[in-house]
């Protein structure tokens, strides 16, 4: 699947605040979820938190180890299905988000491996990585796949959201 270069997603301050809260609630595990919005203007209207399946404890008879949740994520199957189905609707998933715990918000080798299939993106979505330091979400970086380089690159940086009017829109700055 070939992808054109896209405009960075625009995320309202209230949604960005909820994303940061989700990342802090889940720390020291990575959080994950979906960003839903308008494909036309690339504005995110809604977040859909998912469950990081790596966080399930051995007692739940999961084959996944809870210790892995600190440095990787795997979305719950129903959210992966939601993502795939949404792509054919007027409110598609525009992005997948997850957090990095006490590590920079850069696209890691694991992130790349999970997001690509045969060298192309598994889904035509952006990736938002939230950086959590000592339990506090401090910033987020948005990554898009670029055909020319065959890799993801950072297209926008969101700082921590200061308290303010809920309707204020948070436009990203460049990386
Ligand atoms: Zn990651």
Residues 2/124, Cβ–Cβ less than 8 Å: no
Find the 47 Cα to ligand 1 centroid distance in Å: 18
Find the 74 Cα to ligand 1 centroid distance in Å: 10
Give, for all 175 residues of the chain, the pLDDT tens digit.
444 567 889 998 899 999 999 999 999 889 999 999 999 999 999 999 998 877 655 455 454 545 566 777 889 899 999 999 999 999 999 999 999 999 999 999 999 999 999 999 999 999 999 999 999 999 999 999 998 889 999 998 988 665 544 444 556 677 7
Find the 151 Cα to ligand 1 centroid distance in Å: 14
Find the 125 Cα to ligand 1 centroid distance in Å: 15
The domains found in the chain, sorted by start residue, are 10-170 (3.40.140.10)
Find the 111 Cα to ligand 1 centroid distance in Å: 5
Q: What is this structure's pTM? A: 0.85
Residues 143/152, Cβ–Cβ less than 8 Å: yes
């Amino acid at each position: 699947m070939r992808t054109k270069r896209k405009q960075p997603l625009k995320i309202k301050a209230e949604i960005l605040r909820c994303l940061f809260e989700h990342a802090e609630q889940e720390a020291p595990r990575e959080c994950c979820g979906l960003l839903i919005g308008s494909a036309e203007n690339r504005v995110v209207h809604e977040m859909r938190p998912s469950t990081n399946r790596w966080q399930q404890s051995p007692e739940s008879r999961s084959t996944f180890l809870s210790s892995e949740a600190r440095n990787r994520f795997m979305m719950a199957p129903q959210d992966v299905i939601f993502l795939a189905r949404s792509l054919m609707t007027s409110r598609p998933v525009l992005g997948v988000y997850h957090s990095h715990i006490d590590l920079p918000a850069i696209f890691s080798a694991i992130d790349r491996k999970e997001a690509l299939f045969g060298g192309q993106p598994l889904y035509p979505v952006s990736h938002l990585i939230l950086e959590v330091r000592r339990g506090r979400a401090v910033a987020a970086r948005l990554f898009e796949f670029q055909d020319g380089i065959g890799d993801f690159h950072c297209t926008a940086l969101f700082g921590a959201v200061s308290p303010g009017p809920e309707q204020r829109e948070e436009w990203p700055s460049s990386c």
